[in-house]
A and B are shown apart, each in its own frame.
Chain A
Amino acid sequence: MADELDALLKHPGEWLRGVGPVADIVMSSRIRLARNLEKIPFATRATDESQAKVLTLVKEALGRVPSLERALFLELGGLTEVDRQFLVERHLVSREHVVNPEHKAVVIGEGEAISIMVNEEDHLRIQVLQSGLSLPEAWAMMDTLDDELSQALPYAFSPEWGYLTCCPTNVGTGMRGSVMLHLPALVITKQINKVLHAITKLGLTARGFYGEGTEATGNFFQISNQVALGRSEDELVENLQRIMKQVIENEQSARQTLLSSGRVQLEDRLWRAYGLLKHARTMSSVETLDLLSAVRLGVDLGLMANGAAPAGGNGLDRTAVNELFLYSQPAHLQKLEGKALSVQERDAKRAELIRKRLGAKQ
């Protein structure tokens, strides 16, 4: 089990490569589908037997799903707590999914673009995660995968109400689309609340870096929409993509304002963040997110790429910064070290990892 996870540890998921449309502002695009199996009780009425049955059915079906060739099937009950946390940090499973790990599983596709939570609130929560603003591409991949799964498993579906879900708010398409945005300029120029307010008026929700119910640290905002019944999947995707483009334009113009009206102050702020990251001896997760956000802005604005050590040596490109976001998280640090670490030990190890990756001499 752990061997398979150690293989994942070697590389970040595809979605963290920092490529794709407007990857300077959009970290990732995600589509999630809720799917259930006919007649088998939902989480509310589930028994040990019914959950075991879902696991068996899904495991057996995998061989008949071409999109999931070479996918991993991991039962969460058989993993250590650090390994489960590791999956959360990689955005492969939700926080709720690891709370009671018994009878729960995750299917992880190659490159981590696809993952399926088994026995979450719904029998299946299928996810496609891609780098950049790529909702239509993510949906295309999802559509194919979902078609394949629907031929391998008896989906609960009603012609009138669509895909039947545990919670009636998800019924219909069972779909939720979301985009992770990096909006530091809107935060610095204090326009972020206005923008978030406008977004909520359109029925969308905004959340922090780790998804549902978490704080918006490091200027990362996860914005998602969901109108499950009465709209087609394509409409939902187009609608979210369109609104995201407007938010992105706002961020772009705020970045231009910062550059034109206070470039020295901005550069000072970003280089100070870089200095701290490169030399500090202890570093908390929250501080790391904030400082990395600043460095990422500097890289994305082209303010930092040439200033430091020669390219390749200073760790200052988007992919490298993205990797730091991932590897500086608690479970990743502990897996890299190969042992459990206290909070103090982690803060020291985190600072050390960042210094190394940013090419500090000591």
Chain B
Amino acid sequence: MVCELCKQSQATVHLTEIVNEQMSELHLCEACANQKGAQVESHFGLADLLSGLSDFGKTPEVEEVSSKACPNCGMTYEQFRKVGRLGCSECYPAFKRSLGTLLKRIHGSPVHVGKSPARAAGTKAAKGAPSLPELKRKLEKAIKDEAFEEAAALRDVIRRAEHEEHQKPKK
């Protein structure tokens, strides 16, 4: 395979991103990959995603938030789309709607199922991963909204959470 940038050397560095079961690849030779360095690593994929988002970004809700600024750091959604990086933790709730769509496209799933800081503190329900009743409420809502993909993901999460409940007491 030949490097996609210089079209001369053998491509030995392969970068891949899978989005909604669609795979995009970038094949580079060592020299070109070196030159692009971290730039390729961090921006490949995301730039595509963001431009992909702008296609269907004509929907009113996305336009609605593009000028909206994060109350904590002042970053606007427009700025985020340019740099592909958020400004602070409070940008997440500030851009919740558009980010939700984006995160689902990047990760293929809308919910976090890993560990949480609260688990470490031993108060699972307090601040950490959503509790079972909370998850079930989300599931009901997803079914009502006919968001079936999300519902399926939530069902998996609930199944795992229930399984985990049985496997206690650890930590």
Interface residues, chain A, with chain B CB atoms under 8 Å away? 36-45, 95-96, 121, 143, 146-148, 150-151, 155-169, 171-173, 175, 193, 196-197, 199-201, 203-208, 212-216, 227-233
Contact = CB atoms under 8 A, between A and B. Distances in A.
23 contacts: A38-B89, A39-B89, A41-B88, A42-B86, A45-B73, A121-B85, A147-B120, A150-B120, A156-B89, A161-B92, A161-B103, A165-B86, A166-B85, A167-B86, A193-B1, A213-B36, A227-B108, A229-B103, A229-B111, A229-B112, A230-B153, A231-B113, A233-B115
For the complex of A and B, 8 pairs with smallest distance between CB atoms: A230-B109, A162-B112, A215-B30, A156-B89, A147-B120, A213-B37, A229-B107, A150-B117
Contacts of B89: 36-40, 156, 164
A39 B129 CA distance: 20
A40 B130 CA distance: 24
B37 A206 contact: no
Given A41-B87, A44-B86, A171-B103, A157 B92 contact: no
Contact of B88 (A42, A143, A215): A42
B141 interface: no
A175 B74 CA distance: 27
Contact of A208 (B30, B83, B103, B116): B30
Interface string B34-65: 10111111100110000000000000000000
B85 A216 contact: no
A40 B14 contact: no
A200 B86 contact: no
Interface of B: 1, 12-18, 23, 25, 30-31, 33-34, 36-42, 45-46, 72-75, 83-90, 92-93, 99, 102-103, 106-117, 119-121, 127-130, 134, 153, 160
Contacts of B14: 196-197, 199-200, 205-206
A7 B82 CA distance: 44
Contacts of A214: 30, 33-34
Contact of B33 (A147, A157, A197, A215): A215
Nearest to B1: A193
B129 to A, nearest CB: 6
Nearest to B15: A205
Given A157-B117, A169-B46, A172-B107, A205 B73 contact: no
Contact of B87 (A42, A171, A216): A42
